[in-house]
């Protein structure tokens, strides 16, 4: 049998039993007569309460945590050089800085002979990894803030994660019976889970996500990175936007997360409430009266309170109807305001807002044609005026004079004294805060002046060094240009010599070709002459046979004379050609010697360079 069936049977059994007892006994009528003459208030309501938490901060942290994890696993490290003066025998590495230190501390030199220097001690630099950079201190501070940020919200959500539905029944009575006043109250709340389990599942899933974030932050908090950063000074707003914070994607995400934490300092959740008043029927109200009868009878009997009655002499009272209440203080649900989780004192988010106001005032002053220095002073003055206005508005340090006080003859001097003392105390506190701020400003100005002096000295030394380097570079550049000019000149001369040699070679080849052609022409002329002579001789042979003998000698002599002239002319021409070739060879040798001389000079110049 189901429990619900058991309850139904038990209920019916109790009802039947009470009806039987009431019909057989006079006391129930006596009690009901007095009970119903008193005040009775019955209240019954069904109420369901569903809580919806804002998960924006969870999504934001989940999206940025991978970047924090990357940074924690691989933090930024800088190289720090520890300087130490050690005996020369222990020096492992000599750097330019070591030489410069030795030059400025000559007492560390043991002996100097000419260009040879023997130091007895020298400054060495030992490279060490430095983890305490500004960026790492920023991440350390962010993790500490995240730890408090997540844990605070985890506790609030854990204590308010449950959504539920409840059935509230309240029955209050005030009546007189047997010369006694009785106040009786019955209150029962049945609280159970919602019919839709997905709502609580969603909230529990949200709690699991927060718990995962809590575990991740705890992992960051107990990581080797945080142990290595133990003792490092945390950063405070304003955050310095270094190159790493501006250009590294993971550090940019970390900075955005910092700004989000500054802005999101509350935790909000909405409560969705469904209320429904449940009516009482006559049977239900009679059952409540029976319950009051049972409670009264048990308590009076067990507490031994006198309650003797004469059932035959029952006084009739006017019976009042039961009042049905619609509201009960225990069921009043207010949609809560956003919970303040973190201190909203000066942080990066509000600092950026004040910065916007200051920059806007500065731009307005500059836009009005004011000099830059005057504009800056006015903008600073306006910012200070805002702070002073906050003091005056919050504490009324300089309230307007109340003209109606003059009409009052009798003034409350004690009240005036207390007010003036309180305002003087606040004014003193404001003055002390401003004095501290003024002292900090003076210290900052002195620090900046010292830094300015140091940077100015460095700038002068750098300018002198740059001037020396510029002069050295100028001389080097001049030498290089002169050397390049000489090389170019030598190259041009080489090209000119090559062109001259080429021209002479072409001329020689031309003369040789002309000489060959001339010899060929001479041979052809001789062949032609011989052929003509033979032809002429053959033609005139018959005619000149007679004269041949007489004129042969004459002809031979003439021919010999002519040939001798031709030979002499040919020899003269050949001689001229040979003389020309001889002159060209002499010129070629002279040019070759000049070329060799220039080549040697060029090689010497290159050897010197």
Query: For the segment 39-60, what is each residue's pLDDT rounded down to a tens digit?
Result: 888 888 877 777 777 778 888 8
* Residue 595: closest CA among 496, 508, 487: 496
Q: Is the pLDDT of residue 408 over 50?
A: no
Is the dihedral angle over the CA atoms 111, 113, 118, 124 positive or is it negative?
positive
Q: Look at strands 39-53 and 323-325 and give their pairing.
A: parallel
Task: State mean pLDDT over 256-285.
Answer: 77
Other CB atoms within a 10 A radius of the CB of residue 241 amount to 11
Separation between Cα atoms, residue 191 and residue 48, nearest integer Å? 9
Query: 391-397 contacts: CB < 8 A, separation 24 or more?
Result: 391/426, 391/430, 395/423, 395/426, 396/423, 397/423, 397/426, 397/427, 397/430
Strand partners, 111: 118
Q: Is the pLDDT of residue 573 over 80?
A: yes
> In the structure, what pLDDT confidence band is assigned to residue 407 with cuts at 50, 70 and 90?
very low
Q: Is the pLDDT of residue 406 over 50?
A: no
Determine what percent of the chain falls in helix, strand and coil, rounding each to the nearest 5.
Answer: 65, 15, 20
Strand partners, 273: 49
150 close to 61: Cβ distance less than 8 angstroms: yes
pLDDT digits (tens, 9 = 90+) for 12-29: 888 888 888 888 888 888
183 close to 50: Cβ distance less than 8 angstroms: no
Q: Is the pLDDT of residue 319 over 50?
A: no
Q: Is the pLDDT of residue 203 over 80?
A: no
pLDDT at 218: 92
Q: Is the pLDDT of residue 337 over 60?
A: no
Separation between Cα atoms, residue 178 and residue 134, nearest integer Å? 84
- For the chain, the average pLDDT equals 77
What lies within 8 Å, CB to CB, of 386 at 6+ separation is 357
513 close to 600: Cβ distance less than 8 angstroms: no
Of 101 and 530, the structure prediction assigns the larger pLDDT to 530
């Amino acid at each position: 049998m189901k429990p619900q069936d058991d309850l139904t049977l038990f209920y019916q059994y109790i009802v039947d039993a009470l009806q039987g007892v009431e019909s057989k006994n006079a006391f129930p009528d006596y009690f009901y007569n007095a009970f119903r003459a008193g005040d009775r208030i019955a209240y019954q309501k069904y109420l369901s309460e569903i809580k919806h938490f804002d998960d924006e901060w969870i999504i934001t942290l989940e999206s940025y945590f991978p970047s924090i994890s990357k940074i924690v696993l691989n933090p930024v490290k800088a190289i720090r050089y520890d300087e130490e003066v050690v005996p020369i025998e222990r020096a492992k590495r000599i750097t330019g800085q070591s030489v410069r230190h030795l030059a400025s501390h000559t007492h560390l030199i043991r002996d100097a002979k000419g260009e040879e220097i023997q130091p007895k001690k020298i400054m060495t630099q030992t490279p060490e990894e430095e983890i305490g950079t500004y960026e790492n201190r920023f991440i350390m501070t962010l993790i500490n803030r995240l730890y408090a940020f997540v844990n605070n919200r985890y506790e609030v959500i854990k204590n308010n994660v449950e959504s539920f539905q409840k059935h509230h029944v309240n029955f209050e009575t005030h009546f007189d019976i047997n010369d006694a006043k009785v106040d009786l109250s019955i209150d029962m709340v049945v609280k159970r889970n919602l019919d839709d389990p997905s709502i609580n599942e969603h909230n529990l899933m949200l709690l699991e996500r927060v718990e995962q974030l809590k575990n991740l932050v705890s992992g960051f908090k107990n990581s080797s990175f945080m142990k290595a950063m133990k003792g490092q000074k945390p950063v405070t707003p304003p955050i310095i936007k270094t190159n790493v914070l501006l250009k590294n994607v993971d550090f940019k995400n970390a900075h955005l997360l910092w700004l989000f934490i500054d802005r999101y300092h509350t935790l909000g959740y909405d409560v969705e409430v469904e209320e429904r008043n449940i009516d009482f029927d006559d049977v239900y109200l009679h059952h409540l009266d029976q319950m009051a009868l049972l409670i009264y009878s048990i308590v009076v009997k067990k507490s031994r309170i006198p309650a003797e009655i004469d059932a035959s002499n029952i006084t009739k009272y006017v019976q009042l109807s039961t009042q049905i209440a619609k509201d009960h203080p225990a069921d009043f649900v207010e949609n809560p305001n956003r919970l303040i989780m973190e201190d909203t004192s000066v942080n990066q988010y509000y600092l950026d807002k004040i910065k916007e106001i200051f920059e806007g005032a500065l731009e307005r002053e500059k836009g009005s044609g004011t000099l830059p220095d005057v504009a800056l002073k006015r903008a600073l003055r306006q910012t200070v005026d805002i702070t002073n206005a906050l003091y005056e508005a919050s504490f009324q340090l300089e309230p307007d004079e109340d003209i109606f006080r003059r009409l009052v003859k009798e003034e409350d001097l004690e009240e005036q004294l207390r007010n003036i003392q309180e305002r003087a105390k606040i004014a003193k506190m404001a003055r002390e805060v401003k004095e501290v701020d003024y002292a900090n400003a003076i210290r900052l100005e002195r620090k900046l002046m010292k830094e300015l002096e140091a940077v100015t000295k460095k700038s002068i030394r750098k300018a002198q060094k740059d001037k020396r380097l510029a002069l050295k570079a100028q001389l080097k550049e001049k030498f290089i240009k002169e050397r390049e000019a000489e090389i170019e000149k030598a190259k041009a001369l080489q090209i000119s010599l090559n062109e001259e040699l080429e021209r002479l070679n072409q001329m020689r080849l031309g003369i040789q070709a002309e000489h060959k052609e001339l010899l060929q022409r001479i041979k052809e002329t001789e062949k032609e002459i011989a052929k003509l002579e033979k032809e002429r001789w053959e033609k005139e042979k018959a005619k000149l046979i007679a004269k041949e003998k007489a004129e042969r000698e004459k002809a031979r002599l003439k021919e010999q004379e002519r040939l001798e002239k031709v030979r002499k002319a040919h020899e003269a021409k050949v001689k001229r050609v040979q003389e020309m070739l001889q002159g060209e060879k002499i010129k070629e040798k002279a040019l070759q010697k000049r070329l060799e001389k220039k080549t040697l000079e060029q090689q010497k110049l290159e050897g010197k360079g």
